[in-house]
Structure formats: structure tokens, C-alpha cells
């Protein structure tokens, strides 16, 4: 079953009703760096799906992937060398290359006048770089000019703040307790391959596949460890959710997270417990979320009346289910939240940032 998310003004550049006829519309010169990876390919798919106004597009990769062909709509493009590419004259570059290459190439692109929309963690906590989820804080793109860079949040944070923001606007969230169930695609192709190979090996006892990408066997298992451990016992993934929620939504919100890798190929799930300053009835919360941008509520109190990662794959929406009162505290709610982490958690959010940048700043499309 497929569902469509309600889109916010910042997120609906691709909506035909709001667009000029294609033949009269000015477009952008767009770069996708890291075009051969999972997120880079998804960026190209979503740019095409949403009919982002592109006059010219360049797809970049490292030298080992040079010349690899990737699809953009009905076109086939050959990758160019990220190391030698000249960003002069290009409007925006969507980066999906990881923190180390970003550190080298993003300033180069920014200095050439090309606005970088970065999917890595490198700039997320830089006070001079806006961290943007368009359904939540689209106006933050206006702060891009300090470094000519806009940051895309962590995948687990992105879907959570889409659900938190409309409830925060109504009842002011004080505290969030979240447990994540994160798919292996969040660890890239190597993570997906490891789950696939280990799953096959379970049924073939003579073939053993020891953990490489993950710390323990991921097939038929769950691992409460994503990224490195920090001094206070939390992992960096958990710290990211805390820091990014504060930067995107409200620095006064207290967040505690437990992030877990699960044997699912695509789609992150989250169990979210919220404490608010003002009482918020579960029925009102459900109505608020139904009207909120980017959210689809699937919440029937019956077998199968909720969303799971399988249903969210390939969809734009952040799905919210299991909305119910928490009777253990005065003003508490519980939610179940799922989303395609390669889309809303990465590629879709980056494209939505590009749309917001186009609407609010560059204004060609």
C-alpha cells in the first residue's frame, strides 16, 4: 500500500500546481557529489521524481568510480572526477561523500559560489552552518551565506523532528525519550551486504560470515551500538540525536536516546516518549499530526493498523502510529515513527533543502 505525505510550502517545489510551465521555467545548475553511492543515487531519483528545475546536472565520484554510469530520470550520466571538478558557475551541490572528502571539497565548492547541501556530519554542529529539516525550520536556509553551506541532519533525527515540531508548537515539549530501530542501509552498501551474506550463511552452516561492518552478527540479531562510544556511555549516534534536535527544534528540549541497529534493509523505526508542558490529549495530537507537513498518520487500534519499515520504503512520508497517552506522567504521549532513511533521512531532505533554497534565496524555479 502506498501513501502520500502532506507537503509543506518549503517542501512542495515539485508540486505541479505551484510550478511554471516547464518550457518557461528557469532551472538550476546542480551537482551531485557521491553519485554512485546509495544516497547519491537516491538524490538523483528524487530530483527527477519531484521534477526539480534542472538546466544542467553533473554527477561526481571518486577516481575509483570514474566513468560509472548513473540514472537521472530517463537519462544516463557518466560520473566525473570530484578531485578535479570546477564548481565555478554551478548553483548548488548535493554532497553525499562522507566527512573526510567533504572537509576537502565542500569549502572548494563554497568558495566558487556553489551552495553546498551536505549530508555528512561534518558541519551539523557548526554555529555558522544552518541545520535544516524543511518541514520544521525551512527559514534557516537563509543563514547559508556565512559559509555557503547547509547541513542535512542525521537520518534518525530527521524523521523524529518532523513528528515533534507540530506537537511542540501546540504544547511545548520538555523531554523526549527515544529508542531507535535502525536499518542496515544507514551503514551503507557494506552494511546491507553483510546482512544479506550473514542471513544466507545461517541456512548454510558450512559458510560462516564473521562481522566486519558491524560489531556483532547483525542477521537475526539486534545491536545496541551505532557509531563510537563516548565518555558518558552514550554512542555518538545517540549524542547526534540530542544535539541536532536542540539545534533544529528548540535548545530547551531534553533528549535521551538509545540507538539500535536491527536486521532490516531499509527504513528506520523509532519509539518516542514525549513529555509536554501543557496537557495534550491523544486525539488532538493525532489530529495535529494528520495536518502536519510531511507526516502520514496510520493509527488504527487493530492488528496491522500501524506502519512498519516495509511499508515506508520508497515513500516521502514520515509515518506515525501507536499514538497514545502515557499515564505514568502528567503530560505524556507515546508515538511510533517510521521512515525510509535513504529518503527522508538523507536524499529527500537534501532535495527539499534545495527546493527551499531555490524558493527563498536563488529564486529561479
Distance CA 204, CA 210 (A): 14
Vertex 172: Cα angle to 140 and 347 (nearest 5): 40
pLDDT at 363: 76
Buried b (16+ CB within 10 A) or exposed e, 78-115: ebbebeebebeebbbbbbbbbeebbeebbebbbeeebb
pLDDT at 108: 98
Q: Beta strand 149-151 with 115-118: parallel, antiparallel or unpaired?
A: parallel
Q: What is the pTM of this model?
A: 0.89
DSSP labels for 102-139? HHHHHHHHHHTTPEEEE-SSTTTT-TTS-B--HHHHGG
Whether residue 93 contacts residue 113, with contact meaning beta carbons closer than 8 Å, is answered with no
Whether residue 37 contacts residue 119, with contact meaning beta carbons closer than 8 Å, is answered with no
Distance CA 341, CA 313 (A): 8
Domains in the chain and their CATH numbers? 9-152+346-362 (3.40.50.720), 157-341 (3.30.360.10)
N-terminal to C-terminal alpha carbon distance within the chain: 32
pLDDT at 217: 97
User: Which residues are known binding-site members?
Assistant: 36-39, 64-65, 124, 182, 185-186, 205, 261, 341
Beta bridge partners of 163: none
Quick one: which H or E segment has residue 273?
Answer: strand 268-276
Distance CA 157, CA 341 (A): 10
pLDDT at 76: 96
User: Which residues are known binding-site members for substrate?
Assistant: 182, 261
Q: Which of 103, 121, 99, 98 is nearest to 36 (CA)?
A: 98
pLDDT at 25: 55
Q: Beta strand 254-261 with 173-182: parallel, antiparallel or unpaired?
A: parallel
Q: What share of the chain is helix, strand, coil (3-state, %, to 5)?
A: 35, 25, 40
Active-site residue list: 155, 268
- Give mean pLDDT in consecutive 10-residue pieces for the chain, a chain of 365 residues: 37 34 69 96 97 97 91 96 97 96 98 98 97 97 97 97 98 98 95 97 87 97 98 98 98 98 98 98 98 98 98 96 97 98 95 96 73
Amino acid at each position: 500500500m502506498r501513501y502520500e505525505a502532506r507537503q509543506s510550502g518549503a517542501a512542495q517545489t515539485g508540486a505541479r500546481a505551484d510550478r511554471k510551465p516547464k518550457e518557461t521555467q528557469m532551472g538550476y545548475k546542480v551537482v551531485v557529489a557521491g553519485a554512485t553511492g546509495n544516497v547519491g543515487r537516491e538524490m538523483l531519483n528524487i530530483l527527477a521524481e519531484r521534477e526539480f528545475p534542472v538546466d544542467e546536472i553533473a554527477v561526481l565520484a571518486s577516481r575509483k568510480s570514474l566513468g560509472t554510469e548513473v540514472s537521472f530520470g530517463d537519462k544516463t550520466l557518466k560520473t566525473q572526477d570530484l578531485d578535479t571538478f570546477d564548481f565555478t558557475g554551478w548553483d548548488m551541490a548535493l554532497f553525499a561523500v562522507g566527512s573526510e572528502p567533504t572537509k576537502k571539497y565542500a569549502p572548494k565548492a563554497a568558495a566558487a559560489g556553489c551552495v553546498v547541501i551536505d549530508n555528512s556530519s561534518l558541519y551539523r554542529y557548526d554555529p555558522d552552518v544552518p541545520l535544516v529539516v524543511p518541514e520544521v525550520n525551512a527559514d534557516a536556509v537563509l543563514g547559508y551565506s556565512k559559509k555557503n553551506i547547509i547541513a542535512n541532519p542525521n537520518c534518525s533525527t530527521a524523521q523524529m523532528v518532523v513528528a515533534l515540531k507540530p506537537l511542540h508548537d501546540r504544547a511545548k515539549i520538555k523531554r523526549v525519550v527515544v529508542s531507535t530501530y535502525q536499518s542496515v542501509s544507514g551503514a551503507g552498501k557494506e552494511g546491507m551486504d553483510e546482512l544479506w551474506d550473514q542471513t544466507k550463511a545461517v541456512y548454510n552452516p558450512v559458510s560462516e560470515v564473521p562481522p566486519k561492518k558491524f560489531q556483532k552478527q547483525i542477521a537475526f540479531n539486534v545491536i545496541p551500538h551505532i557509531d563510537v562510544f563516548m565518555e558518558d556511555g552514550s554512542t555518538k549516534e545517540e549524542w547526534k540525536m540530542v544535539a541536532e534536535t536542540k539545534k533544529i527544534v528548540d535548545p530547551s528540549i531534553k533528549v535521551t536516546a538509545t540507538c539500535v541497529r536491527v536486521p532490516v534493509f531499509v527504513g528506520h523505526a523509532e519509539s518516542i516518549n514525549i513529555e509536554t508542558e501543557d496537557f495534550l490529549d491523544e486525539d488532538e495530537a493525532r489530529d495535529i499530526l494528520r495536518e502536519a507537513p510531511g507526516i502520514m498518520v496510520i493509527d488504527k487500534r487493530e492488528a496491522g493498523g500501524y506502519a512498519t519499515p516495509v511499508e515506508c520504503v520508497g515513500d516521502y512520508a514520515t509515518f506515525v502510529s501507536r499514538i497514545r497517552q502515557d499515564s505514568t506522567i502528567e503530560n505524556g504521549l507515546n508515538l511510533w515513527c517510521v521512515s525510509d532513511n535513504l529518503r527522508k533521512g538523507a536524499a529527500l531532505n537534501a532535495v527539499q533543502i534545495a527546493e527551499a533554497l531555490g524558493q527563498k534565496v536563488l529564486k529561479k524555479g
